[in-house]
Amino acid sequence: MTRTLRFIDSHTGGEPTRVLLEGIPRPARGRIREWYQEIRREYGWLLAAAVNEPRGSDILVGAAYWPPTESDMAGEVMFFNNVGLLGMCGHGTIGLVVSLAHLGRLAPGLHTLHTPVGNVRAFLREDGRVRVQNVPSYRHRKNVAIDVPGYGGFIGDVAWGGNWFYIVEHGQDRIDLSNRDLLTELCWAIRGELRARGITGRDGAEIDHIELSSARDAAPGNDAKNFVLCSGKAYDRSPCGTGTSARLACLAADGVLGAGQTWRQESVTGSVFEGNYESCTVDDDGVAWIKPSITGSAQVTAVGELLFDEAERAADRWA
C-alpha cells in the first residue's frame, strides 16, 4: 500500500525545512505537548522517512503541521530532524509561515502557532520577513567547565531557547565554512563529554545542541558568528533560532544586551537573524527569563508529494 504526504520545502538562511501538510493524523486527545509518544510510536517511521535519505538528507528539518482547530491560532506544529523530534525550531517556524503564505493559507499579520514546548507568535511582514516571538528562554548554568579528550578545556553556558544548548565563546578555531568538518567533530566531542559527565539541562534533559560563538569572526555590522551542531550531527546553515534565543538569554543574564536592543547573529554560512528580547524577569530562584524574538526570511523551494510504502515501517530510521 502506498501512502502519500503533501509537502512544501523552503530554506531559511540556507537551512531547509520540509513542511508536511497532511497525512499525519492529528492525535485525538490532549494538547500538543502530550503528543510526543504517540507521534513517535505511530508515525516516527514516516517522519524519519520524509526527511532522511533517499527523500531528504541529514540537514533537513521536518515540520508536521496541523491546521487550526481554534480561531485564535494558525495551527499546531511538531518539528523533527534526521534523528527524532525537536522542541521548537526558529528557522523552521520562519519557513513554515512563509510556506503557508505561499499556499495562500496565511496572510501578513500576527499568528499563533502551538508547539510541544509552548506557543510561539509569528509576525509575517508585508515584505515577507518573519519575526518569531519564541518560547521564554533562560540560562540554566553559567561557566560550566569541561575537559574534552583530544581537544582540551572549554567553558560554556547551558541555556534553553526551545531546545537545550551548551554555548561556548570559541576563539580557537575560526568559525568559517572551511572549518566545518573540524567544528563538527569538536562539537560532537563536546556533546559526548557533557553526556559522559552527566551535565544536562533542567530535569536531566540532554543537551543535544552545541553552539560555538565568536565576535571576532562576524562580518562587520554583525555581533557574533556561530556554528551550531544539531542533535543529528548536522550543522545549522542558519543562525539557529532556538540557539540565538538561548544566546540572547545568556546576554540578558550577563547584562550585556538590554531589552529592545538588536543582536545581529550571523551563521557559519553568513546568513543573519536579528534578535532581541522584550523583557527580562527574574524568578524566585534567581533565573532570568526573557521573551526572545528572531527575525529572518525564507524562500520556498519546492512543493510536491512524497510516496511511501507501508513496508518501510519496518525500517524505522529513528529506531
Residues assigned a catalytic role: 89, 240
Q: Give least dist CB 309 to ligand PYC, A.
A: 29
For ligand PYC, give the closer residue by CB, 91 or 247. Answer: 91
The residues with which 156 forms a beta bridge, in sequence order, are 144, 168
Q: Is residue 266 a contact point for ligand PYC (CB under 6 A)?
A: no
Backbone phi, psi, residue 200, to 5°: -135, 175
Q: Is residue 275 a contact point for ligand PYC (CB under 6 A)?
A: no
Q: Is residue 90 a contact point for ligand PYC (CB under 6 A)?
A: yes
Rounded distance between C-alpha atoms, residue 16 and residue 9, angstroms: 7
Q: Is residue 236 a contact point for ligand PYC (CB under 6 A)?
A: yes
Q: Give least dist CB 196 to ligand PYC, A.
A: 23
Stretch of 108-116, 235-243, 256-264, 277-285 lying at the interface with ligand PYC (CB under 6 A): 235-243
Q: Binding to ligand PYC (CB under 6 A): which residues in 182-211?
A: none
Count of residues of this chain found to bind ligand PYC when the rule CB under 6 A is applied: 12
For ligand PYC, give the closer residue by CB, 8 or 61. Answer: 61
Rounded distance between C-alpha atoms, residue 275 and residue 149, angstroms: 34
Distances (CA, A) of 255 to 12, 171, 295: 30, 22, 22
H/E segment holding residue 225: strand 224-229
Tally: H helices and E strands in the chain: 4, 16
Q: Is residue 241 a contact point for ligand PYC (CB under 6 A)?
A: yes
Rounded distance between C-alpha atoms, residue 59 and residue 19, angstroms: 14
Q: Which amino acid is at 316?
A: D
| Beta-carbon-side half-sphere exposure of residue 126 (alpha carbons within 13 Å) | 0
Handedness of CA 25, 31, 32, 33 (dihedral sign): negative
Q: Is residue 159 a contact point for ligand PYC (CB under 6 A)?
A: no
Stretch of 143-151, 218-226, 230-238, 259-267 lying at the interface with ligand PYC (CB under 6 A): 230-238
Q: Is residue 242 a contact point for ligand PYC (CB under 6 A)?
A: yes
Q: Is residue 267 a contact point for ligand PYC (CB under 6 A)?
A: no
Measured from the Cβ of residue 160, the count of other Cβ atoms closer than 10 Å reads 26
Q: Is residue 91 a contact point for ligand PYC (CB under 6 A)?
A: yes
Q: Given the rule CB under 6 A, which residues bind ligand PYC?
A: 15, 61, 89-91, 163, 230, 236, 238, 240-242
